[in-house]
Amino acid sequence: MADRILTPRGLDAELVSVGAAAPALRLAVSAINSAWGRTGGRGQVAACRSDEDTLTLAASAASRALGAAGVGPGSIDGLWWGTSRLPFAEGPSWSTLAASLRLDTSTDGTAIAGSPHSGVDALLAAADAVAAGRVRTALVVASEALRPALGSGHETAAGAGAVALVLRRDGAGARLDSVASRFEPLLDRYRGDDETETRDTYDSRLVREEAFMPLAADVIGALGMHPDTRWSLADPDGRLAKGLSRKLKLGDPVSAAVRTHLGDLGAAAPLAGLVAALGESGPAALLAWGGGRATALGLAVDEPVPGAPEALGDLLAEGMPADYARVLRSRGQLEATGESVEMAIPPGSAMFVRDLREVLGLLGARCVNCGVVNLPPSAHPSCPGCGGDKFDVAELPHHGTVQTFVVNQTMPAPFEAPLPLVVVDLDDGSRVQLQGSDDGSALEVGMPVELVLRRYTIERGVPVYGWKVAT
């Protein structure tokens, strides 16, 4: 084995808040096994509804982190997003997320994808930009929603979830203070360029003995953390973390509860696992793993990080039990035969170009004459209230109450019934009509609701995002 040079370094960036999000569905591992004629299997994994994906989870976690930091999107000047797999293999993944968060169009940053290591890559890139003074306040998001190969070992592990952090140079909270990385060009979890689903290696013991254990031990050792350090350990198969912590005497990993509840969160796993350690001061560290890389990162939690208890609650939320067929349908791995209903207007056409930022940012136009808000502004040159033609941009609030609603009970593919449609009176007096984000069974006239970013459809390969109403 070649000589390895470890480079511990201090990073001048403080973690000032955290937010997290889990998808709606929970699938028992035994249900996956049963579908493949295998018996048993413990635990569960989290899975997206058909309108959730790595981007919508990222958006939810990010808005919660911003809320916990008490800063608006206008204070963010850099967005770094790590995920194994972006919603557009090529295309505006990062800018779609940024627009939905209403970040300024001059915002710095990038999306980093391609392996479960990408979440920590995003964090380190953001920390470097903050330390260098290139950005003042950075938003870091790590999210995951994989499409595992059916029947593979990876299928019983693959979960979904997201975590987001706000980083600032002179903040309070948790300090990033050391990092060590190693790589080996090895094959563990992977997907070829012409493949649609992620597979794991055919020999898990080979990965454990020749790759995971030695690299992980190397970077953890290089970090030289205090014995009381609370560790968040990447745990791709649900067993590796336990073996590693026993071998290196790291104590019970703080990431265990999230891993048990949601499965392997891939690029989001190390940071999601760390959330449990951010609520109390003391030393903490994480191990990121994937794509032939291992990185250990040490933190000093000087004081509890705002948002940590809520984020942990969001990650450990109960979720909705789902059967195997529903999860396959949601991931697009089980599709009805026949023609499905296309949108009247194809994504990428002129109308999308005209109003996509308005739709993603939930922007309206407020009439300077009578105050009525219309949306989308590009479709309304005249005020519906007074016919006026002068408007201010209105950033619509994400909360309101139900004015009226319906629940569509029978829908053609690609829709899934029941499908609620809700007219919502937003807190600023404006009004929107949007789909409901769940089955609509809890909807009532007058009840308070929240708007959440969701994926409306994938058409001609293009994911289309917009806001929905959550009860």
Interface residue list for other proteins (CB under 8 A): 339, 341-345, 347, 351-352, 359, 374-376, 379, 384, 403-412, 415, 418-419, 421, 423, 431-435, 440, 445, 456-457, 464, 466
Q: How far apart are CA 437 and CA 419, in angstroms?
A: 8
Cβ proximity to other proteins, 152 vs 435, nearer residue? 435
| Cα 5 to Cα 12, 117, 298, distances in angstroms | 22, 19, 18
Q: How far is the CB of 431 from other proteins (least distance, A)?
A: 5
Query: Closer CB to other proteins, residue 2 or residue 344?
Result: 344
Q: Give the three-state DSSP class for 315.
A: helix
**Three-state DSSP state, 70:** coil
In our burial notation (b when 16+ CB lie closer than 10 A, e otherwise), range 50-67 reads bbbbbbbbbbbbbbbbbe
Residue 88 or residue 190: which is nearer to other proteins going by CB?
Answer: 88
Contact 213, 294 (CB under 8 A): no
**CB of 102 vs other proteins, minimal distance in Å:** 16
> HSE (CB half, 13 Å, CA atoms) of 189?
30
Q: How far is residue 93 from each of residues 39, 50, 88, 360, measured CA to CA in Å?
A: 39, 18, 6, 12
Q: What share of the chain is helix, strand, coil (3-state, %, to 5)?
A: 30, 30, 40
Q: Report the nearest approach of other proteins to the CB of residue 224 (Å).
A: 52
Q: Of 71 and 406, which CB lies nearer to other proteins in the complex structure? A: 406
C-alpha–C-alpha distance, residues 188 and 291, integer Å: 7
Closest contact distance (angstroms) between CB of 390 and other proteins is 18
- The DSSP call for residue 420 is E
To other proteins, the closest distance from the beta carbon of 352 in angstroms equals: 7
Shortest distance in whole angstroms from residue 463 CB to other proteins: 12
CB closer to other proteins out of 43 and 384: 384
- Contact partners, residue 34, CB within 8 Å, separation at least 6: 324
Residue 290 phi/psi, 5-degree rounding, is 145, 155
Task: Compute the least distance from the CB of residue 326 to other proteins, in Å.
Answer: 19
| Nearest approach, Cβ of residue 21 and other proteins (Å) | 21
Judged by beta carbon, residue 35 or residue 421, the one nearer other proteins is 421
Using a 10 angstrom Cβ sphere, with 0-12 exposed, 13-18 middle and 19 or more buried, the burial of residue 350 is: exposed
Vertex 158: Cα angle to 126 and 190 (nearest 5): 75
Comparing CB distances to other proteins, the nearer of 47 and 359 is: 359
Task: Tell me whether residue 244 or residue 359 sits nearer to other proteins (CB atom).
Answer: 359
